[in-house]
Each structure stands twice: as C-alpha cells, then as structure tokens.
C-alpha cells in the first residue's frame, strides 16, 4: 500500500507517493494558484493527486490515505480555520477532497506538525516516542508527538509553540501579543534585531558589507554567515535568537519533557554552529542540572519532509 502526501505552501504545492517505509517513490510540484482562491487551489491539489496516481500507475485502491500539510491551523475534521498566506478562513479542505476521493481517509495538519511526523517516521526523531519539533523559518512552527502519535490538543489548537511568550520584546508579534518566541527566534526576528543593532550601535559590520550597504537585502543567511566569520553585530544577533530559543526549549522541557527536541526550518541549515550555541545556552537554564533531559538535534529531512510527513499522517 502507498500514501499520498501533499505539502501545501504559499508558493508551491508539492505532492508525492510514499511507501510503507516512508520512502518517496514519485514526486511532483506545481505553483500554488493563490489568486484563484481556495477552490482553485483545491482543484490544483486534486489534479496533482490524480496526475501522481496516473504516472505511478496506481489507483485509489492502492492508496491508504491522503495527508496534507497546510501553512495554518485546522480542526481535527480538516476544516482549515486559518491559512494567512493563502488568504483562507474556514475552508472545508477535507470535505472538498472527500467529494473527489470518496473512500480515502484525509488528514490535514499544520506544516510544522507534518515536519515533526516526517522526522519521527524516518529522520532525527526516529525510534523516539515523545518528541517536539521547532521549525525556524519566517515564523516559528511547532509539532508534538506523544506516545508515537501526533498531539495537537483538544481543539486542534495546540503545538503553536511559536506563540509561546518567553520574554519581552521591542516589537509586538503579528498575533497582537508581546514576547512570542517567533519574534525572537525566527528568520524575520533575527533580521529585525540585526537591523536594530546596526542602527543603534553604529559599528562596522560584515553584514552591511555583504549586502552592499543595502539594509533591505539583509536576510538570515547573511547574518549567520557573518556571525560564523566572527562579526560582532552578527554574533550579538545570533546570541539574542539563541537566548530566547533556549528559554523556549527549556520551557518545553519543563512542561513536556520530550525525549528529543528537533530543530528544523530554514535556520536549521546553519547546523552545528547554531546547535552548539543552543546546547550551551540551554545548559544554563535546565531546572535540574544533574538530571538527564531530552536531546536537541537538527532535523534531517529538508524539502521532502512536507511530502513524507503528510503522507505518514495516515500510518
């Protein structure tokens, strides 16, 4: 038997056929027609699934389930409450797909939860029972596995770890609160903080050199690359991100105490440079310094995580 996994993003829809061993046997990608509204996007998802099945010479009887990772929040029944980048509100994604794929179970989960499932199925959280995923990208996403199952709370509103308040910040979060983890530890956050430092400290920095003095060109990679080369401002920005990320991670350890905490998303590509700083900072905040807590690891699945994880929602 096979599984269909769909990674629905604001710019692309990636789809794949995945086998029982969480291996992708075929994958395809199309542009997300955001401007065509939810009906247009869902139509595109249906075409993509049908074209995957055709090309793989499979029919729906060979498929166990369809899973979809969305950039938003959905109910357990697959009603998408919100997906801001797609301009969706209360879109009955599962119901619309069920009209086309009548006999197949449809699973809809937040994209960070899906990334978590992928790492659990065949990545950095394999063979663990309880794990938490943090995806550090434009925002900070969260996924939770407890006893080998996706955990998203009583109303499907849990694992929104990016909106955990961990301190007090110089600007408010999009959600209206102050101090959300994602205002400290996302790509957006490190860019905001680096720009603030550059304006305030009036120091030479490699960051500005690398962007030819065009502040608008600063991205997270430029900051991290500059930090690796020893730049003062860049390291200060990375250290601020790491400080609050470490607070967020120890909060998770104090509440959920998972076997493993997995860091994914674009920022995780900085690998051991980031991981070493995180481990060193987390060790300062541990409640019981002589007891064993979960391990912090970097995710192994990059772009394929969305397809694999959404497929494995049905396993």
* Binding region for a second copy (CB under 8 A): 73, 81-82, 129-130, 142, 144, 146, 151-161, 163-168, 175, 177, 179, 247, 250-259, 285, 287-288, 291-294
DSSP structural state of residue 138: S
The whole-angstrom separation of Cα 117 and Cα 160 is 15
Identify whether the C-beta of residue 313 lies closer than 8 Å to the C-beta of residue 65.
yes
- How far is 105 from 289, CA to CA, in rounded Å? 45
Task: For residue 146, list its beta bridge partners.
Answer: 149
Q: Kindly tell me which of 87 and 232 has the beta carbon lying closer to a second copy.
A: 87
User: Under 8 Å CB-to-CB from 177, ≥6 apart: which residues?
Assistant: 163, 165
Going by the DSSP 8-state scheme, the letter that residue 136 receives in this structure is: E
Q: Rounded to the nearest whole angstrom, what is the least distance from the CB of residue 56 to a second copy in the complex? A: 37
Output 164 or 298, the one with its CB closest to a second copy.
Answer: 164
User: Which of residues 18 and 140 has its CB atom nearest to a second copy in the complex?
Assistant: 140
Q: Toward a second copy, which CB reaches closer, 240 or 250?
A: 250
What is the token pair recorded at 240?
């601020």
Residue 196: CB minimum distance to a second copy, A: 18
Beta bridge partners of 82: 73, 89
Would you state the structure tokens that stand for residue 167, as one six-digit string?
A: 């301190």
Q: Is the Cβ of residue 157 or residue 215 nearer to a second copy in the bound state?
A: 157
Do the beta carbons of residue 219 and residue 267 sit within 8 Å?
no
Residue whose CB is less far from a second copy, 63 or 70: 70
> In whole angstroms, how close is the CB of 129 to a second copy at the nearest point?
7
Residue with tokens 């829809």: 13
């Amino acid at each position: 038997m096979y599984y269909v996994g769909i990674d629905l993003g604001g710019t692309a829809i990636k789809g794949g056929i995945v086998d029982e061993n969480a291996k992708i046997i075929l994958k395809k990608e199309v542009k997300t027609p955001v401007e065509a509204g939810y009906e247009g996007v869902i139509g595109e998802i249906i075409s993509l699934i049908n074209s995957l099945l055709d090309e793989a010479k499979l029919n729906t009887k060979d498929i166990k389930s369809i899973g979809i990772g969305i950039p938003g929040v959905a109910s357990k029944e697959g009603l998408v409450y919100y997906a801001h980048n797609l301009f969706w509100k209360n879109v009955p994604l599962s119901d619309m797909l069920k009209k086309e794929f009548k006999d197949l179970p449809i699973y809809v989960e937040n994209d960070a939860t899906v990334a978590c499932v992928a790492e659990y199925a065949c990545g950095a959280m394999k063979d663990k029972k309880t794990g938490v995923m943090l995806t550090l990208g434009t925002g900070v996403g969260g996924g939770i596995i407890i006893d080998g199952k996706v955990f998203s709370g009583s109303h499907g509103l849990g694992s929104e770890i990016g909106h955990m308040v961990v301190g007090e910040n110089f600007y408010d979060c999009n959600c209206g609160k102050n101090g959300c983890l994602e205002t400290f530890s996302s790509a957006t956050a490190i860019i905001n903080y680096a720009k603030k430092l550059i304006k305030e400290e009036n120091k030479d920095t490699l960051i500005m050199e690398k962007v030819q003095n065009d502040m608008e060109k600063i991205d997270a990679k430029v900051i991290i690359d500059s930090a690796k080369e020893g730049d003062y401002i860049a390291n200060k920005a990375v250290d601020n991100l790491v400080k609050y990320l470490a607070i967020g991670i120890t909060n998770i350890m104090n509440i959920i105490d998972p076997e493993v905490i997995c860091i994914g998303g674009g920022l995780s590509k900085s690998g051991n440079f980031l991981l070493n700083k995180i481990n060193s900072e987390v060790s300062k905040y541990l409640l019981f310094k002589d007891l064993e807590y979960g391990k912090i690891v970097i995710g192994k699945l990059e772009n394929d995580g969305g397809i694999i994880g959404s497929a494995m929602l049905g396993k």
